[in-house]
Structure 1
């Protein structure tokens, strides 16, 4: 007997949210994937720098981000072209399988007795994790959105419900990741636990195949006919200059994923306890989501009033993001200088770093989403889908710049981190002036 695929009518009427039983099979896999991100991939630098020198660790983490972003573009294109249930289902299966293999290889690499030496085995295992992270980040989201078609929701409503489910499951993952049991795990024990959890929910996901929505969304493709002449040279120049500014901003963002976290872990009293590190890393994600959604709602309200120039409002969002970038770098430089030279600086609390992580999240939320919206508002309909890909490529370019700076300023004694963020603060000011 096939169970009713719709939620109870009382829930739909009183909560205003309807879902199908197929979603139950997906949420567990999303939660386990987010747990892998929160406890391993998002704080990768805190694992690497204990095993390798600082320079090598930063290069590995930035390469991880660059490769992941490239795979995100590939999977985004693939899910846009292939919209059937079976194809997207097998994309999720492939990504999850690669994730499990990657976790096991990292488990074996963590047990390697030859510490301090980078091996091809490490790059191969991290390459698999890059592929898995990108695949699950993209395919799980679109596959979840597909399930809301069974309750005849409009595209905007489906995206809203998908976002709500994603945020709620991510919030649960954040809470679980903060547990003392997980933060106190040895690295190999953590990897083994993550592998077991994601394997279990992977089996649950596969078992729900017959419940998943069968139809694609081929009837919702963007109209490929030409509309009006929005692509003028002036706007092209503006978009290019904004992209350059965001590339510099992404350099600061890459520093936040590496040096900010390293500075945080050096201030923790117990290096094996990652509770404080996870608090700061999750603060960035929380503020990024908050800035994105709040500013997006404000712009939507302004658009309805028709009294504002929306492209200028999007430029204002980007400008606010760059302003947060300058303040973030300035505070980081002041904190680093105080820690090194001020009396009692070596014993300062790790929570002195909260302002710079707070501003880092605001910077990402305002600037990157503002650029995506500005891009989509100024190009032809068939090119709008590339806005997100162009934005993530900007992030990847910032990580590449970070690697280049590491080698330029890392000759001899490694001084990039020791310069108390003077360089990233200077580049943020340059980016703001250019903008």
Structure 2
């Protein structure tokens, strides 16, 4: 049925998924969306990620060398900032989905982001705000600097989740060719992010370390301003989704309705549960019934004495609303067990970088590698492994498994989590070797390449898989929130990393031999890494247990009886 007159009928000229053009009219397929629109999105993301990774990868160096924080304090400061930056999207995504729409939130948050970058420039060039040349930190500079980077965090809160979901929304899920292109969009999105990471952590970081922080800030601010203008200029090409109101309200209504009817028994035939055909066009796609969390199905039972109150959503919910509630509840344990991925990634820009500062960074007689640039090796790992996975491994797996994706989303994530365990084991072994030769000779920074490279491979499976999961496996009306949940994995991971550092310092510092002391050579980071390897391994076991019984989102169109009950299971079912 999916091949029915696609691209030939008059109806195919228009996009029938509640999308509109920039004038609020029904979106015309030929002139809006797909690559002509998403190219603006990818360019905008490229410039923002260069700015972010230039700051994120070298922040610990700035805090220790310019502001003169000790290692433990600087690591926690980086984790707090990174955590805030990746948790703010939960607020921005909610406001966009419920009230403003993605485009308006992107523009507003980009202006806030530019304010933060501008303040960062001022903190480097205005004499009263500039850092001192001696070893004494200047309070005014610290205030201006932290105000600037947290203003950037606020801007990222609206920019990051909305831009990615806005880009994916340029492809219609109900159109076969556009659905295929959407899969490519996610691949190109990840490629763009990693390429930006590569440039931000090498070229811009080199300017920070060997030219000046002020010049580097000026470069990324100009780039961000130009791409903001370009993104706004692309307005006629975009497809827009109207905000649908508070997305948590329908979920609460399902829970209330199910509790009200807790004493009723669900019908043996799920087709007798309530559904309305208008839902598909007005509020999103219909979802087919699943057997999990069956208590919630009671919300869709039609009570004879309330048959005239079908419009009371607090007493009667549709099957689709019930399934959307199940989706949200199913996401929670997956999110919790994926947090260790964020903890591992937090080490790449904190403790791994401090390891590098104690090593031989000379590549040639005339070139010294900036420690923060090692993050680019992780980007290279993604840039190499992602195309191989997409173009070589997936086609083979499709033939073997019959799965359109090659392997399921959760299995892909679990492979990445396995590599995360290997990363921490490799880091522990390298650090143990470095500590053994301290005072004898300086270890080459090349010893850190394997752990960064493996981390990049891990991210090409876990982080890209999580990105796909949180976009696909949430209700259609919550996709910006879904992308915010994906970002929060690394955000909460940074906070958890700081929490672990505090606990480890408290426990191990009692005997005067803290694993993470003020000086890295007197610390025992190898033991800290071994602890993270064990935590990741245990968490992987819990994740695999959840993945075995997970039910994926299933989209289904149905025909209806006049009373609103399902007449027959429908035209197509698409398992996500």
**Cα displacement string for residues 377-423 of structure 1 (whole angstroms, at most 9, x for unaligned residues):** 98888888866544433333322221112222335676425212312
1:420 aligned to 2:560?
no
Instruction: Give the match for residue 248 of structure 1.
Output: 340
Residues 140-289 of structure 1: pairs in structure 2 closer than 5 A: 140-145=163-168, 154-158=178-182, 160-161=184-185, 163-164=187-188, 167-168=191-192, 171=195, 174-175=198-199, 178-179=202-203, 182=207, 184-206=210-232, 208=233, 211-213=236-238, 215-216=240-241, 222-223=284-285, 225=287, 227-231=289-293, 245-267=337-359, 269=361, 275-277=369-371, 279-288=373-382
Out of 57, 79, 82, which is 1:62 matched to?
79
Moved more, 292-301 or 89-98: 292-301
Is the CA contact (8 Å cut-off) linking 1:29 and 1:205 kept in structure 2? Answer: yes
Instruction: Give the match for residue 327 of structure 1.
Output: 422
Calculate the aligned-residue CA RMSD, in Å: 4.5
For residues 259 and 350 of structure 1, the distance between their equivalents in structure 2, rounded to whole angstroms, comes to: 14
Residues 404-415 of structure 1: pairs in structure 2 closer than 5 A: 404-411=499-506, 415=515
Are the structure 2 counterparts of residues 430 and 311 from structure 1 closer, same or farther at C-alpha, using a change threshold of 3 Å?
farther
1:104 aligned to 2:130?
no
Q: CA deviation at 1:47?
A: 2.2
For residues 398 and 66 of structure 1, the distance between their equivalents in structure 2, rounded to whole angstroms, comes to: 7
For residues 159 and 175 of structure 1, the distance between their equivalents in structure 2, rounded to whole angstroms, comes to: 25
Are the structure 2 counterparts of residues 384 and 425 from structure 1 closer, same or farther at C-alpha, using a change threshold of 3 Å?
farther
For residues 35 and 378 of structure 1, the distance between their equivalents in structure 2, rounded to whole angstroms, comes to: 29
Specify which structure has the bigger relative contact order, considering alpha-carbon pairs within 8 angstroms and separated by 6 or more residues: 1
Instruction: Find the residue that maps to 1:154 and give its secondary structure.
Output: helix
Instruction: Find the residue that maps to 1:229 and give its secondary structure.
Output: coil
**Cα displacement string for residues 9-63 of structure 1 (whole angstroms, at most 9, x for unaligned residues):** xxxxxxxx9843x667666544432321232234322322222222221122111
For structure 1, list consecutive stretches of 5 or more residues without a partner in the other structure: 1-16
Is the CA contact (8 Å cut-off) linking 1:242 and 1:371 kept in structure 2? Answer: no
Q: CA deviation at 1:366?
A: 2.5
Moved more, 408-417 or 121-130: 408-417
For residues 430 and 451 of structure 2, the distance between their equivalents in structure 1, rounded to whole angstroms, comes to: 9
**Cα displacement string for residues 191-221 of structure 1 (whole angstroms, at most 9, x for unaligned residues):** 1222233223434444x25534354378596
Moved more, 154-163 or 371-380: 371-380
Moved more, 44-53 or 280-289: 280-289
Are the structure 2 counterparts of residues 88 and 379 from structure 1 closer, same or farther at C-alpha, using a change threshold of 3 Å?
closer
1:40 aligned to 2:55?
yes
Are the structure 2 counterparts of residues 319 and 281 from structure 1 closer, same or farther at C-alpha, using a change threshold of 3 Å?
same
Instruction: Give the TM-score taking structure 1 as reference length.
Output: 0.74
Are the structure 2 counterparts of residues 133 and 116 from structure 1 closer, same or farther at C-alpha, using a change threshold of 3 Å?
same
Instruction: Give the match for residue 137 of structure 2.
Output: 115
Is the CA contact (8 Å cut-off) linking 2:131 and 2:138 kept in structure 1? Answer: no
For residues 220 and 274 of structure 1, the distance between their equivalents in structure 2, rounded to whole angstroms, comes to: 59
**Cα displacement string for residues 310-348 of structure 1 (whole angstroms, at most 9, x for unaligned residues):** 999555444433332232222212211222222786422
**Cα displacement string for residues 208-252 of structure 1 (whole angstroms, at most 9, x for unaligned residues):** 25534354378596435552114489x999987765553334322
For structure 2, list consecutive stretches of 5 or more residues without a partner in the other structure: 1-32, 125-129, 244-280, 296-326, 542-576
Instruction: Give the match for residue 72 of structure 1.
Output: 89
Q: CA deviation at 1:258?
A: 0.9
Q: CA deviation at 1:255?
A: 1.7
Is the CA contact (8 Å cut-off) linking 2:425 and 2:529 kept in structure 1? Answer: no
Instruction: Find the residue that maps to 1:227 and give its secondary structure.
Output: coil
Return the structure number with greater helix share: 1
Residues 366-381 of structure 1: pairs in structure 2 closer than 5 A: 366-370=461-465
Is the CA contact (8 Å cut-off) linking 2:50 and 2:199 kept in structure 1? Answer: no
Is the CA contact (8 Å cut-off) linking 1:69 and 1:396 kept in structure 2? Answer: yes
For residues 344 and 175 of structure 1, the distance between their equivalents in structure 2, rounded to whole angstroms, comes to: 34
Instruction: Find the residue that maps to 1:394 and give its secondary structure.
Output: helix
Instruction: Find the residue that maps to 1:223 and give its secondary structure.
Output: coil
Instruction: Give the TM-score taking structure 2 as reference length.
Output: 0.58
Q: CA deviation at 1:156?
A: 3.8
